Chain A
Amino acid sequence: MADERGDDVLQLWQSQETEGFRMTPEQIHQRTEEMEQKLRRRWRSGYLVCGSLVAFFTLWLVASNDPIQRLGAVLSILGLAYMAWQIRQNRWRNPPPGDIGSTASGDFLRTELARQRDFHRGRTFWTRMLCFVPGPLVFFLGFARAQPHLVTIIRLEAITFLLLVIAAVPLNHWLAGKYQRQIDQLDRLQREP
């Protein structure tokens, strides 16, 4: 009885109306080009933000006479460059074309989840923080030394920056935990029926 009903559902599923979608070689090439353009646009926006910040710190590197502020500017530029490189490494990955078909979907999913998890925890996360955080802090310190009359505003900016950094720790920890729970569930499902 249950089997018959199951077969009914199977038949119903397979008899759904479909559009007969397929792509011609021209459409494939066009779509590939569109996707690459979209990706390039996304990266251009990211580079624009990163470039504006680098330009801002470069300006201070040239304009400031305070050595601590200049050191902060250099550290900030290096930190931003490292962070941009890390994000690019994580998001823009091109595995060999055959990999996607030769990897069992459970294993593929696990790799994807582990990659996302590792971005938000461990060495990847802490090196990102360690490389990015000191630069602006040194910069604020040098700025306050060079412009004592602006110390209240600078302190406020530094505190805001620190609060954002502090908030990033539990947020990333939570995201990593979310991915880890999905990995655990996947492992359980793969292991036992």
Chain B
Amino acid sequence: MAQDQLYEQAAAELGPALERLARSYEADPEKRRDLLQEIHLATWRSFAGFEQQCSLRTWVYRVAHNVAASHVIRHRRANARPLVSLDEIESLPDSGDTEAEVGRQQTVERLHTFIQQLNPLERQVILLYLEGMDAASIGEIVGISSGNAATRVHRIKKILAGRFRTGGRDGR
């Protein structure tokens, strides 16, 4: 399949997921827009070397996370707050009121802030989990064993359940 067609397919199927990913990697709206463009551009370019070694979804997520991780390395200030692991974040005080019924938008904002504090690898795992991927696929994209991915997903579920209330399925 031609590069343009593959890109069209990827943008149609995974475009929204890529936007969410860019939002979790970059808080500044202008830089986020640049990052999103960079991800799309890298995805299009990468299809020149795509030989169906893996699914389109795995390929695109790898490209996106690789571009985003490079972005973090390039733009992270030397004096910025250190990124933490899931273990460490569990012991940090939660900035929000977990008992209160907060609005959907507020919860999403808190979720993005929460993810932005995580180290790149665990950030990748949580983002892939939130996109509905199973442990085996997460392991394939990130480059860890599926057992390792499953353990991290389990921890993530626990932390998310403890910290985030969505106000019911409808968000009301």
Instruction: Give me the interface of A with B, judged by CB distance under 8 Å.
Output: 1-3, 5-6, 8-14, 16, 18-23, 25, 28, 31-32, 35, 96-109, 112-113, 116, 175, 178, 182, 185-186, 189-190, 192-193
Complex contact B37–A101 (CB within 8 A) = no
Beta-carbon contact of B69 and A109 below 8 Å: yes
CB-based nearest A residue for B140: A104
Q: Is A106 in contact with B49, judged by CB distance below 8 angstroms?
A: no
Query: Known pairs A1-B161, A101-B46, A109-B66. 13 more at Cβ < 8 A?
Result: A3-B157, A10-B129, A11-B166, A12-B171, A13-B111, A16-B20, A22-B12, A22-B40, A23-B7, A32-B41, A96-B49, A108-B62, A190-B121
A98-B46, A109-B121, A192-B148 known; A6+B160 contact, CB < 8 A: yes
Q: Which residues of A contact B130 (CB under 8 A)?
A: 9-10, 13-14
Q: Hey, which chain B residues are within 8 Å of A113, CB to CB?
A: 73
Q: Is the interface of A mostly helix, strand, loop or mixed?
A: helix
Question: Once bound together, how far apart are the Cα atoms of A147 and B135, in whole Å?
Answer: 72
Give the number of residues in B that approach A within 8 Å (Cβ atoms).
72
Q: Which residue of B lies closest to A188 (CB)?
A: B85
Q: Could you tell me the distance in whole angstroms from the C-beta of B94 to the nearest C-beta in chain A? A: 14
In the complex, which residues of chain B have a beta carbon less than 8 angstroms from the beta carbon of A96? 49
Given A8-B166, A32-B41, do A104 and B143 touch, yes or no (CB 8 Å)?
A: yes
B residues with CB within 8 A of A: 4, 7-8, 11-12, 15-16, 18-20, 36-37, 40-42, 44-51, 53-54, 59-63, 65-67, 69-70, 73, 78, 85, 104, 107-108, 111, 119-122, 124, 129-132, 140-144, 147-148, 150-152, 157-158, 160-162, 164-166, 168-169, 171
- The SS class assigned to the B binding surface is helix
- A16 to B104 CA separation, bound complex (whole angstroms): 9
Partner of B66, one of A32, A108, A182, A193: A108
8 Å CB contact of B119 from A12, A116, A189: A189
* Cβ-defined partner of B151 (8 Å) among A22, A107, A193: A193
Chain A min CB distance to B152 (Å)? 6
Contact B108 A16 (CB under 8 A): yes
